[in-house]
Structure 1
Amino acid sequence: MTDSDDEVPQLSAATLAALQEYYTECQERDDQIHQIMNDDHINLRQDETDNVIFGEDWQLSQFWYDDETVDALVKGAIEATEVDGKIGLISCPTLYKSLKRQAGDRTVTLFEYDTRFSIFGKDFVRYDYKSPLNLPRDMSSMYDLIIADPPFLSEECLTKTAVTMKFLTKRNLVLCTGAVMEDLAERLLDLKKCKFEPHHKNNLANEFYCYSNFNFDKLLQ
């Protein structure tokens, strides 16, 4: 074994600088969110949260949609509901800000585990898929449309999320999840695969599809 075999690989100066820039940006985003959360405001104005950037937390299996996917899902949600309708988002916080801006008099509620999103005030409901019915009783059958994106590709996660979806919805459901969940999505919720396919800013290795129990594709045309 030579001395060179014992050497620890060294990152280039450019790579180290890029990593430092990334960590600095993450810290700045976290500081901004913490400052807002510690503010005395209970319900912040939309313009106070519009510029907040949330980084993905991979430990929570967070992968943000790309802009085209956000636009399509928001368009479909608006088209699928009346002007005073109610839309629930389960574990898909990427959609909230864009949908809220375009919702008009519609109610938009984000059901999410990550408490960073509590800055959205009354529109945020803390949600843990492991306790699928730990929600206010008066939310039963409250929502005209539910869009869900379970954080994990597992039978347990989808099954429990499905319980929540059934509890909250009047009828219409949209589910974004992996191709491996297709059979289970149909068995649990009678959902069919859409032609529309969601995509993420950071490409996922898993095939990812959209499923619904109504003609969601037609609303995206």
Structure 2
Amino acid sequence: MPEEGRNVGNIIDDQTRESKEAKQANSFLRRTLENPNLNQYWYSAYTIDVLVKEIEDNASKAAFLSTPSLYFSLNDKQLKDNSYVFDVDPQWQKHPNFVRWDFNDPVNIPECMWHAFDLVLIDPPFITPEVWSKYAEATILLLAPGGKIILSTVQERGELLKQLLKVEPQVFEPSIPKLVYQYTLFANYQSRHLSLHNPEIYQH
């Protein structure tokens, strides 16, 4: 086998091993099943790791809209204590940092949380313009002046999201193992971690 072939094989093996190790290390993925009735599809362990690094580098208080896999994977205890997960899934309702939130009533958010977060993470269960408009309403209400946004959806929603939230597509594409189509990450700022390719995603 040529040297180039061995190198590519070694890289793929390393990435596969790292992905398996990350999944074993991620307690959220180990213990939390996706609920198809809520259209839940978790990011891969490696994608979660990259996003958590990005969050912990940029936030002191974050709002996680329909992104429980990210909130519950935070390593920074102070950030986790300061942040909140906004979701409709009742399995987390006893957690002190859980806020029951339904996108059909997007501004039903405690007033003490208005404009209180320096980063908002968003991954809606649906990708229609109507749903995104509701998530944008909530995001604008939650975000502090100058705050940052990271979201994931299909690339085709890029123009709409640029209008709603002034976000731009990022190089890093998230791996969502049980989702049949590829998502794109968007952000409203220049990101270090999201400017790199995800080795889990095949580059055409």
Q: What range is the shorter-chain TM-score in? A: 0.7 to 0.9
* Range 211-220 or range 165-174, more displaced: 211-220
1:65 — aligned with what?
Answer: 43
C-alpha distance in 2 between matches for 1:161 and 1:57: 20
SS in structure 2 at match of 1:147:
strand
2:150 — aligned with what?
Answer: 174
2:130 — aligned with what?
Answer: 156
SS in structure 2 at match of 1:110:
strand
Deviations, residues 121-149 of structure 1 (Å, cap 9, x unaligned): 21100010010000101111100111010
Q: Which amino acid aligns with 1:181?
A: R
1:75 — aligned with what?
Answer: 53
Q: Retained in 1: the 8 A contact 2:87–2:99?
A: yes
Give the CA deviation at 1:220.
Answer: 6.7
Q: Retained in 1: the 8 A contact 2:43–2:177?
A: yes
Map residues 187-206 of structure 1 onto 2, 5 A cutoff: 187-202=163-178, 204-206=179-181
Percent identity among equivalent residues? 29
SS in structure 2 at match of 1:216:
coil
Give the CA deviation at 1:104.
Answer: 3.0
C-alpha distance in 2 between matches for 1:139 and 1:68: 30
1:131 — aligned with what?
Answer: 105
Give the CA deviation at 1:108.
Answer: 2.0
Runs of 4+ aligned residues of structure 1 deviating over 6 Å after TM superposition are 49-52
C-alpha distance in 1 between matches for 2:183 and 2:58: 22
Map residues 83-122 of structure 1 onto 2, 5 A cutoff: 85-99=60-74, 102-106=75-79, 107-119=82-94, 121-122=95-96
Q: Which runs of 5+ in 2 are unaligned?
A: 1-26, 197-204
Q: Retained in 2: the 8 A contact 1:72–1:220?
A: no
Q: Which runs of 5+ in 1 are unaligned?
A: 1-48
C-alpha distance in 1 between matches for 2:169 and 2:194: 15
SS in structure 2 at match of 1:105:
helix
1:45 — aligned with what?
Answer: none
Q: CA RMSD in A?
A: 1.9
Q: Retained in 2: the 8 A contact 1:76–1:220?
A: no
Correspondence 1:207 to 2:185: no
Say if 1:136 and 1:199 are closer, same or farther in 2 by CA, change over 3 A: same
Give the CA deviation at 1:187.
Answer: 0.9
Q: Retained in 2: the 8 A contact 1:113–1:128?
A: yes
- Structure whose CA Rg is larger: 1
Give the CA deviation at 1:206.
Answer: 2.2
